[in-house]
Amino acid sequence: MADALTMYIDGRWVHAHDGATIEVVDPSTGRVIATVPAAGAVDVDIAVRAARRASDDGTWGSAVAERERSRIMFRMAELVREQRDELAELEVRDCGKPLADARGDIDEVAFMFEYYAGWATKISGDIPPVGPGAMSLIVKEPVGVCGLIVPWNYPMMMAAQKMAPALAAGCTVVLKPAEQTPLTALRLAAIAEAAGVPAGVVNVVTGIGAQAGGPLLVHPMVDKISFTGSKDVGKHIQRTCADQLKRVTLELGGKSPNIVFADADLAVAVPGTCNGVFGNQGEVCSAGSRVFVDASIYDETLQAMTDFAAGITLGSGLDPATTMGPLVSAVQRDRVNGYIESGRTEARLVFEGQRPSDPELSGGYFVAPTIFESTSNTVRIAREEIFGPVMTVIPFRSVDEVVALANDTEYGLAAAIWTRDIGRALRTARSVRAGVVWINDSQPAPTETMWGGYKQSGIGRELGPYALDAYLESKHIYINLAN
């Protein structure tokens, strides 16, 4: 019998008001491993009212000493570290990724709480000069109650990436994890509780997007929505939130270019490019899934990438030999297979890897690494986000041509550039319209830096001090000194 888990609302562990549940599935086997509450508008309302109260009465926000907030957040980081192996294993069972990757995620989660615990005591305003007869104070205040809606590809990390800066800023939160991956979000609530976060400050509502996330968008007591997920849901969120002019930040999808120039060090560029597409099973918003290769090195580079892909081992994320796990769900597997079918008709299939042979994994949602080549950037597999282990390789002949191809997309999340020529690297980096550009690397996103997209990849920035802006309001206090 799978565990029937509860969710965390106003400091209590509760079922949905009507007892509804959803199943949580291990994607490597297709077996149900737990159930969680399927929250609806009634449950969300209780969570939001608790968060509102904790925001308005100063339980957490401006009336609580920053040092106390900071101390509690450092304690959360410590608890994440203490439970690291258990959390990593839970993440693998929930979303399928290899254990080593999950451990990396959990380490970054711990660091995110440390990093923003430090910021909690360093958020300050300004005193602009306004002449001798007056004084102006620009002060920063928490935006209030924040609805945090996250996807399933880095479940705990996405939750922490929003929760840590929100708490540091003095906000209270209602977190809605993806329906496929609620387990580590619930553990994060338990960690907040154990660390001494007061009731109402952190709430986690599990369930289906429209039913558990939807009510956050329209609830008048929610001040802000921070969303990471697909472009289409992002647009729905922005439209819906416009009604109450809620603050909205969006981290959406991508179709990121990966550019390999003729002078690149292929010993670095090939594994880097492949990891940038196949890492995390390709379920990465910033995956460099459009691979542009200089025509003069095209054949050898494509061969080397194929060899790399052939070395990827699919299996259960808990098996140490595994370098690629299953996709998160049957729906996602079918979606990615649909793109592979489309690729067969509009491009040339260069490589397709093997699914695992272990009968234990026959019900798992595996899709093998797949490489297509195309002479065109206009085919569907080069335009739409696939969110699976599918690479499209396209040759180019000049810098101008490849910059135009790189920018010929509605997205603008990330880009990777491989070259030994630093001038060309930086010129290309400035010409590509993307929020993150890697030179001779792909995918690093340290917490201290910045994350976010141009164009239809999003609005706003996360990580580093930039994330704090999303959870703060600025207030001008003007003092007449003449009387």
Residues that bind ligand NAP (CB under 6 A): 149-153, 176, 178-179, 208-210, 213-214, 217, 228-230, 233, 236, 251-254, 285, 385, 387, 413, 453, 458
| Pairwise CA distance, residues 181 & 189, whole Å | 14
Q: 450-456: long-range contacts at Cβ-Cβ below 8 A with a sequence spacing of 24 or more?
A: 451/161, 451/251, 452/251, 452/413, 453/251, 453/252, 453/254, 453/411, 453/412, 453/413, 453/414, 454/412, 454/413, 455/409, 455/410, 455/411, 455/412, 456/231, 456/252, 456/253, 456/410, 456/411, 456/412
Beta bridge partners of 172: 145
| Pairwise CA distance, residues 117 & 276, whole Å | 30
Q: Are 250 and 238 in contact (CB under 8 A)?
A: yes
Task: Please state the closest distance from residue 199 (CB atom) to ligand NAP, in A.
Answer: 24
Which of 227/396 has CB closer to ligand NAP?
A: 227
Task: Please state the closest distance from residue 159 (CB atom) to ligand NAP, in A.
Answer: 10
Task: Please state the closest distance from residue 444 (CB atom) to ligand NAP, in A.
Answer: 14
CB-count exposure of residue 402 (10 Å: 0-12, 13-18, 19+): buried
The tokens describing 18, both together, are 């009507």
Beta bridge partners of 140: 474
| Pairwise CA distance, residues 261 & 271, whole Å | 15
Task: Please state the closest distance from residue 215 (CB atom) to ligand NAP, in A.
Answer: 8
The tokens describing 3, both together, are 């565990």
| Pairwise CA distance, residues 355 & 367, whole Å | 7
Beta bridge partners of 13: 8
| Pairwise CA distance, residues 445 & 434, whole Å | 14
Which of 105/179 has CB closer to ligand NAP?
A: 179
Q: Are 180 and 188 in contact (CB under 8 A)?
A: no
Task: Please state the closest distance from residue 365 (CB atom) to ligand NAP, in A.
Answer: 14
Task: Please state the closest distance from residue 443 (CB atom) to ligand NAP, in A.
Answer: 12
Task: Please state the closest distance from residue 59 (CB atom) to ligand NAP, in A.
Answer: 26
The tokens describing 248, both together, are 């909205």
Strand order in the sheet with 12-14: 12-14, 7-9, 202-204, 172-176, 145-149, 224-228, 247-251, 458-459
The tokens describing 349, both together, are 């299939």
Radius of gyration of the chain (CA): 23
| Catalytic (active-site) positions | 251, 285
Mind spelling out the 3-state secondary structure of 168-221?
HHCCEEEEECCCCCCHHHHHHHHHHHHHCCCCCCEEECCCCHHHHHHHHHHCCC
Task: Please state the closest distance from residue 387 (CB atom) to ligand NAP, in A.
Answer: 5
| Pairwise CA distance, residues 466 & 405, whole Å | 30
CA 46 → CA 117, 186, 465, 468, distances in Å? 28, 17, 31, 26
